[in-house]
A and B are shown apart, each in its own frame.
Chain A
């Protein structure tokens, strides 16, 4: 964490054990933690304490987590990390479409939680306007539209570059196939996942140490891709 002041976080979960666990893990990382045990309480708490990030459980007793998200998004762009017990990718995609920034499936590890949280919080931080992103031995220079690997320039096609840039701008966070397709091909190209697979294969061949077992350009089962920094 490079932030000077502790980030205010709001945890919305009806399970007291999960709230307690998250509080311990997050306070150890110098976050300021607030709790809410239901959707309604979560919404009023969000309006009251103006958190810089929200960890939201999808399975709440009073309101469906997606409904909480929808109402929240009517007036706030605060980063939201969703917790879910469901494996189904439909639920994840639905939560992302409803405005979640990323998701985490229970049970999760502390390491995963902190990495995801850092990534979603970065969206609203001023430093997200950076011009150079590095991962592994790869360096992406947005201003010059140049990608270097171990210092040597890597030739990318325009689409490959766009795909890499989009992932890098959202690094650490999941991006759905639909988001990528809309960004790269426009609103009418949402069925072209076939192209996307091919470009991703090319990108991995050009940038990954072992393209068969990618470490950085990771696939999220049935949902999309995630650029992992380390």
Chain B
């Protein structure tokens, strides 16, 4: 940072350097020497040339050197050129007027040009300040996160002031100060004490100030609505104190930064609020759904048992079937809840082993036999499919859930097709379950595999865990699930599992 030239100009009050005095003297000596080459009678012209030199000098050097050059040239002119030569004596009234006028004009010209220059410098500085602030505001507005914004602001401060900057922000409890990672220097204990003083007193401190001035940096509070939310530290490379304008600019920076930080805090707070409301809504929905799902089969069991006790032998078979169906439904529900919690607790460890694809399919079909009653299920598995490496129970559950999904979300008597096989490349195996139901609504597409998600457009029951578990179990085995359209209308879900070639397949 110290190699970067500060973009802000040196302060106007700084005295002109000795170089400007030497430069002015040299110019006057050269002009005087040049005047010696002209005929003696041209002394008035020599005076005007001197005046021209003074005016030109005004454009390049400060007020002090111009005044010096004006006095020097006036006396050189009078001494060397105005007759009698090499004497301060003046012979005629006209020469006296000439010398007097020259003296006054050169001084006034010097003064005026110096003023104009100072004004122009002021103007430029104001413009630089405005540009710097504009850049900062834009950077802050464009930043996507608070960290981005702070990073942009600090880097800009670094560049603008040729300094290193450090930002500490108050934590949520407004007790401790936490350094921001974008700081370009870190605060040691002593500097931190200064920063804490600034934080408590809402007043600048540190180097170039009257408070704790033995610190290496200058510290400004970030204040919003009378509360300090952080402290900005600036460590400049030079020994020159910060000018009033630089301090003003820094303060403006600090204000902008404070505004950004506060905006972020407000945004985070409203985000939290929204999340809370969302989770409350989800909780209520889940609560409703769980009570419905648990109570419905319990009600069926209870009513059927009552009726059984009422002893009408002709109905008992049907009632017993109702009880069985309700029990299966409850059992599946409990299974899904347990599976979901296994997924979420991270305790799920697939145990891949060689499996017969037909076995997996049969087990899943067996599990869903009563749910699929009425649908025609077509199974297409190649006759000679080799054993695949998978976790049997997880894969069985995946297929079971896919079949149940198809059964629950399609009109009665529509066909369901289950296929399995090895992809042509031989690297993956697949299962697909296709139905002829309504398919997935566009709104459902993105949320299909999230838990407790139900298609709002249909009024089917369930907890919305089935597909979430499908994805969890497939991903745990290193596979993927894809939801799409059944070419014949309806939904199709494809499951892909890795299929490494068996080491010993050739021998078996």
Name A residues whose Cβ lies closer than 8 Å to a Cβ of B.
Answer: 87-90, 107, 177, 192-198, 200-201, 212-214, 219, 221-222
Contact = CB atoms under 8 A, between A and B. Distances in A.
A219 B504 contact: no
Given A197-B356, A212-B362, A219-B392, 11 more contacts: A87-B393, A89-B392, A192-B504, A193-B354, A194-B387, A195-B508, A198-B508, A212-B381, A219-B356, A222-B391, A222-B396
A177 B392 contact: no
Nearest to B389: A194
B508 A222 contact: no
Contacts of B355: 197
Contacts of A222: 351, 353, 391-393, 396
B363 A219 contact: yes
Given A107-B331, A212-B358, A212-B381, A193 B393 contact: no
Contacts of A201: 356, 358
Nearest to B392: A222
B502 interface: yes
Contact of B353 (A90, A177, A214): A177
Nearest to A85: B334
B338 interface: yes
Interface of B: 327, 331, 335, 338, 351, 353-356, 358-359, 362-363, 379, 381, 387, 391-393, 396, 502, 504-505, 508
Contact of A221 (B327, B387, B392): B392
Given A194-B508, A195-B504, A200-B356, A88 B393 contact: yes
Contacts of B393: 87-89, 221-222
B508 A214 contact: no
Contacts, number: 53
A207 B358 CA distance: 16
Given A197-B354, A198-B508, A219 B359 contact: yes
B286 to A, nearest CB: 22
8 contacts: A89-B351, A107-B327, A177-B353, A197-B356, A197-B387, A198-B508, A201-B356, A222-B353
Most-contacted residue by chain A among B335, B392, B393 (CB, 10 A)? B393
Nearest to A225: B359
Contacts of B354: 193-194, 196-197
When A and B form their complex, which 5 residue pairs have the shortest distance between CB atoms, in order from nearest?
A197-B387, A222-B393, A222-B392, A219-B359, A194-B354
A221 B338 contact: no
A134 B356 CA distance: 25
Given A87-B335, A222-B392, A193 B353 contact: yes
A82 to B, nearest CB: 17
A200 B358 CA distance: 12
Contacts of B359: 219
B396 A221 contact: yes
A213 B381 CA distance: 12
A198 B362 contact: no
Contacts of A89: 351, 392-393
Nearest to A213: B362
B389 to A, nearest CB: 8
Contacts of A213: 362
A74 B390 CA distance: 36
Contacts of A88: 393
Contacts of B392: 89, 219, 221-222
B363 A194 contact: no
Contacts of B353: 177, 193, 222
Contacts of A196: 354
Contacts of A221: 363, 392-393, 396
Contacts of A195: 504, 508
A191 B454 CA distance: 42
Nearest to A87: B335
Contacts of A219: 356, 359, 362-363, 392
B502 A194 contact: yes
Nearest to A194: B354
A213 B358 CA distance: 8
A222 B350 CA distance: 11
B133 to A, nearest CB: 65
B24 to A, nearest CB: 96
A194 B505 contact: yes
A24 B505 CA distance: 51
Nearest to A214: B362
A213 B331 CA distance: 24
B434 to A, nearest CB: 19
Nearest to B366: A213
Contacts of B338: 87
A90 B352 CA distance: 13
A196 B502 CA distance: 13
A44 to B, nearest CB: 33
Contacts of B508: 194-195, 198
A47 to B, nearest CB: 35
A222 B391 CA distance: 7
A86 to B, nearest CB: 9
A177 B504 CA distance: 17
Nearest to A177: B353
B420 to A, nearest CB: 11
A109 B354 CA distance: 30
A194 B356 contact: no
Nearest to B381: A212
A200 B357 CA distance: 12
Contacts of B351: 89-90, 222
B364 to A, nearest CB: 10
Contacts of A87: 335, 338, 393
B497 to A, nearest CB: 15
A196 B505 CA distance: 11
A75 B338 CA distance: 36
A4 to B, nearest CB: 33
A197 to B, nearest CB: 4
Contacts of B396: 221-222
A222 B352 CA distance: 9
Contacts of A192: 504
